[in-house]
Structure 1
Amino acid sequence: MNKISLEDFIKKGLEKSEGIRKEADIEIEGYGPITFVRPTEDNILEYLDAQANAIKMNKNEEIIGTDYKLLANASKEFIYFSCPFLQNPELHKAWGIKDPLDAPVKAFGVENLAGIAKKIKQAFGDGKKTKEKLKKLIRGNGKGEIGPLFWLGYFFECGHSLEYLWSLPKSQKELLMEYVIYKNELMNTKPQKN
């Protein structure tokens, strides 16, 4: 197999990014169409994570509650980073907003945030590709290999904190990540706490 050249790599990357919708005009009640920009993958993941954590389920997978505050905060952040109007310092000054993330609440009302965030997510795709990437990071390739996020979660469940992880020397972090990514056979043994 021939290796790809840098020029071909650049061309393929540009072709891929050209096919992605970068902005959308979304109808917002009381305003009309407003231009929103494509959320970053980080914004999408944070929003999806908050959505998942906001819904409480029992062992039978029945919904037993919803954390509306968590959902509203995730929605306002998702909307804020997708709407250039809401990021404008002149708007913040005119509306007397001290915390920029309060702009979506001031503009649309807290009761409308979840619906608007859903419209944004739908306008740029429903997040299926991002969810699949996340599943792959957690579950691995489906051929017996466990994904790195599974191991990272396991690391924390065993009592290690994020501060501990970041306090490790770079060489130990690299070794941990190698362990996380490549050492599937250790799945059945619990790592020892330090």
Structure 2
Amino acid sequence: MAITLEEFIAKAREKEDKKIKIVVLNIQGFGEIEFQRPSENNFLKFSNGMLSAIKDVDLNEKSTEKLKTENIDMVDFSKAASEFIYNSCSYMRAEEIRNIYKNSSFYDIPLCILGQSEVINIATKLYEAFNGKKEVEEIQEDLKN
């Protein structure tokens, strides 16, 4: 028997209530900044960006201890991280900020403000705080089915 609309709404609300919606990180030189939960699409794009930045490493191996910075294309990684941050932080999308960096792509604004290493650091913390790995695995499993 099919569920009722009320049951469907209750299950959807329950699933949504379990998700972390807001994360506040202390950003060096700025203080505490609020980040909103990324969309599923943004989780996937960042995850794919991270993975495509890793070169010459067998990612199927259980151990990631062999992963060294020379195996990571930091430019690609930082671009993926910058876009992830841009989409998660309303401050980065503020019109005043976009006007300051009007000669840059919107997605490059976090890179311009924070620099490469800090962008990678923040995006990694956000990915972990929002349970990004679990989120991506669930999305991929849903797509398989």
Q: TM-score, length-normalised on structure 1?
A: 0.63
Does the 8 Å contact 1:43/1:78 carry over to 2?
A: yes
- Alpha-carbon RMSD across the aligned residues, in angstroms, is 2.2
**Percentage of identical aligned residues:** 32
Cα displacement string for residues 91-114 of structure 1 (whole angstroms, at most 9, x for unaligned residues): 222x24332222101221122111
- Taking the TM superposition and a 5 Å limit, the aligned residue runs for 1:77-88 are 77-88=83-94
- Change in 2 beyond 3 A, CA 1:135/1:56: farther
Which digits, 9 at most, give the CA deviation of each residue in 1:107-134, with x for residues without a partner? 2112211101011111211422422442
For residues 39 and 86 of structure 1, what CA distance do their matches in structure 2 show? Answer: 14
Map of 1:97 onto structure 2: 102
Gaps of 5+ in 2: none
Q: Which runs of 4+ in 1 moved over 6 A?
A: none
Q: Which runs of 5+ in 1 are unaligned?
A: 138-146, 149-194
Relative to structure 1, the CA distance from residue 126 to residue 102 in structure 2 (aligned partners, 3 Å threshold; closer, same or farther) is closer
1:104-183 maps to which residues of 2 (within 5 A)?
104-134=110-140, 137=143, 147=144
Of 7-16 and 127-136, the range deviating more from structure 2: 127-136
| Closer/same/farther in 2, CA of residues 57 and 132 from structure 1, 3 Å limit | farther
CA contact (8 A) 1:97 1:103 kept: no
Q: Given the alignment of the two structures, is residue 70 of structure 1 paired with residue 69 of structure 2, yes or no?
A: no
Shift of 1:25: 0.8
Kindly indicate whether residue 16 of structure 2 is the aligned counterpart of residue 14 of structure 1: no
Residues 132-179 of structure 1: per-residue CA shift (max 9 Å, x gap): 442564xxxxxxxxx48xxxxxxxxxxxxxxxxxxxxxxxxxxxxxxx
Indicate if the aligned counterparts of 1:72 and 1:114 stay in contact, CA closer than 8 A: yes
* Bigger relative CO (Cα 8 Å, ≥ 6 apart): 2
CA contact (8 A) 2:43 2:135 kept: no
- Maintained 8 Å contact 1:36/1:84: yes
Local SS of the residue matching 2:102: coil
User: Residue 32 of structure 1 corresponds to which residue in structure 2?
Assistant: 31
Instruction: Find the aligned partners of 1:136 and 1:57 in 2 and give their Cα distance.
Output: 29
